[in-house]
Structures are given as C-alpha cells and as structure tokens.
Amino acid sequence: MSDGSKSYFAPLAWVNGAWAKDVLLSVASNGTLASVQANATPDQQRDAVQLTGPVLPGLVNAHSHAFQRAIAGMAERAGPGQDNFWSWRDRMYSAAQRITPQQLEAIAALLYAELLQAGYTQVCEFHYLHNDPQGKPYADPLEMSCALVRAAQRVGIGITLLPTLYMRSGFAATGLHKDPPLLTGQRRFSSTPDLIFKTCEGIEKQFGSNMVNTGLALHSLRAVGQGALQEATAFARSRHMPIHIHVAEQTGEVVDCINAHGLRPVEWLLNHAALDASWNLVHATHSTPEELLGVTSSGASIVLCPTTEANLGDGIFDLPTYAALKGNWAIGSDSHVTRCWQEELRLLEYAQRLALRQRNVMAASNGQASTAAALFNAALAGGSAACGQPTSGLAAGNRADFSVVDTSSPALLGVPVDQLLDAMVFSSPDARLSEVYVAGKPVVQAGRCENWRVLADDFSNAMRVLWA
C-alpha cells in the first residue's frame, strides 16, 4: 500500500474480550488500527501479512522503576534483624546512589527489551532518579529522563515518562510546619513542582509522539505535602496527563498517615485530592472496603504489582471486593523481580486463593467463566488509563500493538482454542511469544529483539561496574 498502511491476518485474535477467528488487522500509516475485521474472507486476506499464531493485544506495564532491574536477585539474603520493606529500601538506595546516566540507559534498554519480549508494548516509568550522586542537578536537568527515553526508543517500546515529585523523608510531625529533610540515600530524588513541570515540558518538546508521552507522579503522601500535591495535580489536569502515586503499600505508612492527618492514605486522597479518572493509585494494598468504593466511584484506577508486593512482603490487595465493585486496575512489574505479565496475573489470583482458600476468585468476583479472561481484560483496560495512550486492545483508533503466541510452547500443546488464554496464565513455564508489534512495526522476531546480544552485553558491563 503506497500510503504506508499495512494489513495483517491472524487466524485467531483477542478482540472485544474473547477469541475471534480469521481477523484482519488494517494498520494506518500513523501506526493506529484503521479497522479490525473478524471472519475475513480469503480475498480480503490475500494481500495481508500472514501471522503465524494467535494474536493478543499488547499490555501496558503500568508501574516501572527501571533502575531497580539492577538489583533483581541481589537483595535476597537475610541481614541482621528483621528483613522487611524498609531494610530492602536501604539496599535499593545504596544501588540508586551509584548508577550513572550511561548505566541507567543500558539497564533500562535491556529491561524494556525483556518487557517487549513478554508482550508489554508500553511502559509507565515512575522516574525519581533526577540528580547526580551528590544530589546536585546535572548540567542538563533532563539527563536521567532522556536516558530512559533513549532506552525505550532503542528497542521500540512505547514509554510514558512519569517525572516524580519527591520533597521530604516522611510525614511532618503533628503540630509542626517544617517537613523532615530528605535522607542521604534520597538526595538523588530531590525535586520541586517546577522541576517536574519543566521535565514534562522538555521531554514532550524533544520526544513527544504516539510512542513517547508524559504524565506526572507524586512519590507518596509521606514524600509530598498537600500544597505541592495540589500544585502538581493542577498542572497535570490542565494538560490532561495521567497522575500516579504510591499509596498504602505498607502498614507502617498507614499508621504514620493516621498519626499525621487522622486519616488513612487512600481516605486522605478521597477527601483532599479530588480523585478522578486521571489518577492511578499504585499498590493501595492496605485499603478498606469503604476506600475501595470511594476509588471506584471517583473513576480512579489502581495499579497492582503482584510480584513486587510479594517479594517485599507488602501484603495482599483486596481484589474480590474491588473486582465486585467493577473497579479499574492495571498491572506493573515495579522492581522487576519478574518481567512477565503472565506471572503477575497468576500470582495476583493465587494470592487470593491462598488467603481465601477458594479457586477462580477473580472470575467469581466478576461473574465470568474464565479467570484468565477476567484478569487479562481488566489489565488491558486499566493500562490505557495508566499511560494516557490508546492501548486498550485490538480496536479501530487504538495503537496497533499486538503479539503472536507461539503455540509450540510446552504449556500450550494440545490445549483447545477456547482455553488458550487460561493455559497461558495458569500453566508454566510461560508460553512464548514469537513476534511483537508496536504501532504496527515488528520489534520482536523469533522471540527476541533485533539487537538483543548488544543489549545484554551493555547490561552486563553496567552490572559488573555497579557490583564490583
């Protein structure tokens, strides 16, 4: 087609929340889907690129700290005293203090390639590593932000950069007006609303496209006071940007918030932040049913990171209550102890089964037959809200992001077509993807990104220096 458009034919594709047969995907020159047609005739298929297996829409990884890929597997030995989130945080800080912009780009590039190979086609990068190791701004204040965008462009994944406001080390003591200063380990995170605004504007000016956009993140209520929160969210709303915040991840955070404000963290947001569909509450692990009802009513979404929440011992999110309320949610891999959406969804469901001693919890909560379908469809819808991009599935107007399932994967051998997604989520080792397309362009072929070997070498070199 001379105008740059292209068509793909899939024998099976996930359309409108279910498998459809003989699907023709027509991609416009701008990388969006012009049309999606099931039951395409042989004549309609003739000029299309023939895809070799079932096709799934790309998923959004709604919460990423790319630099933490460097500590995956490196914080799994018990230290003195009780090992918990806060002791893990000290280890994370020690690595964060040493990473250079060049190392960050190498680490992020390999991570983003791994995400692509797993079927994620967009990543929301919750970015707070702003300054140099001494806590001073780089000559170019966008140095670290640009390293992340270049990493995404290098492999072909879409990125929503979320420059993160981080201003204090904890809640102000009751009756005091002075915020506690940042700890030594947090000095690279220091930022102001103005810095965050200029970062968003600078990234949009240099890179803005259907593959690169920005949102705004507030690290947490303990790190951002009410005045700065309101200033930052007013900026985001004026530009229709997604807003992300860590909230209620740890019971200690909940207690501290109650002591400081007389309210639980999510409760405080509901009372003071005017939550709406632009908001994405990351974790919200320790939320009450009343808070979850408030989140649902506001239109805000929750971002769940099951493997990180398990790895850090955070606790178990109340998925049955939230799902029964039809609440919006997405998934992220956060600290990247795994980079696979199948494992995230599997662990999300299994945690509920262990806690409740029941099976197919998500399906029952949603009134659906297939747990895998209920999980996948929810993650797909919530991901689009998290990134502020049209990525909610195979539908006209959405970006043409999709992956081709390798049905020769051992987990899928002999599985009936209508239970293929069930096996992908609940049978491991995880099913492979043979190809991945972003904006209609192939970025993974034969299961690998084109420059995988170079990416792996660059990552290995960065790790050797960091952990020497």
Q: How open is the CA angle 159-162-168, to the nearest 5 degrees?
A: 155
Which domains does the chain show, CATH number per domain?
6-57+395-453 (2.30.40.10), 59-387 (3.20.20.140)
Of 179, 314, 334, 458, the catalytic one is 334
Q: Is 388 left (phi over 0), alpha (psi -120 to 50) or beta?
A: left
- 244 given a catalytic annotation: no
Radius of gyration of the chain from its Cα atoms, rounded to whole angstroms:
22
Helix 341-356 × helix 371-387 angle, to 10° = 120
- 334 given a catalytic annotation: yes
Per-residue confidence of the chain (468 residues) as pLDDT tens digits? 457 799 999 999 999 999 999 999 999 999 999 999 999 999 999 999 999 999 999 999 999 999 999 999 999 988 777 888 888 898 899 889 999 999 999 999 999 999 999 999 999 999 999 999 999 999 999 999 999 999 999 999 999 999 999 999 999 876 556 889 999 999 999 999 999 999 999 999 999 999 999 999 999 999 999 999 999 999 999 999 999 999 999 999 999 999 999 999 999 999 999 999 999 999 999 999 999 999 999 999 999 999 999 999 999 999 999 999 999 999 999 999 999 999 999 999 999 999 999 999 999 998 889 999 999 999 999 999 999 999 999 999 999 999 999 999 999 999 999 999 999 999 999 999 999 999 999 999 999 999 999 999 999 999 999 998
d(CA 84, CA 384): 32
Which of 311, 317, 256 is closest to 284 using CA atoms? 317
Of 283, 286, 318, 430, the catalytic one is 283
Where helices occur in 188-340 by DSSP H, the ranges are 193-207, 226-238, 251-261, 265-272, 289-298, 306-311, 319-324
Q: How open is the CA angle 137-143-146, to the nearest 5 degrees?
A: 150
Q: Given this model, what pLDDT does residue 20 score?
A: 98
Instruction: Tell me which amino acid residue 234 is.
Output: A
Q: Is 371 left (phi over 0), alpha (psi -120 to 50) or beta?
A: alpha
Q: How open is the CA angle 10-11-13, to the nearest 5 degrees?
A: 65
